[in-house]
Structure 1
Amino acid sequence: MQAHSSSEQRLLEKIRQLPPEQVLLVEDFINSLEKQNTEYSLTFTAAKLSEPVLFKIWDNPDDAEYDTL
Structure 2
Amino acid sequence: MNDIVRDTLIAKIAQLPDERVAEIMTFVDFVRAQEEHRALVRDCLRASEPAFAKVWDNEEDDIYNDL
Instruction: Give the TM-score taking structure 2 as reference length.
Output: 0.89
State the Cα distance separating 1:68 from its structure 2 match.
Answer: 3.4
Matches within 5 A, 1:8-23: 8-23=6-21
Give 2:51's aligned residue. 53
The number of residue pairs the alignment matches comes to 67
Give 1:6's aligned residue. 4
Distance across 2 between alignment mates of 1:13 and 1:64 = 56
Distance across 1 between alignment mates of 2:13 and 2:66 = 53
Distance across 1 between alignment mates of 2:14 and 2:56 = 54
Cα-to-partner distance string for 1:6-44 (whole Å, 9 max, x where unaligned): 111111111111010000001011111110110000000
Give 1:67's aligned residue. 65
Aligned sequence identity (%): 31
- Runs ≥4 in structure 1, deviation > 3 angstroms? none
Structure 2, gaps ≥5 residues long: none
Structure 1, gaps ≥5 residues long: none
Does residue 37 in structure 1 map to residue 32 in structure 2? no
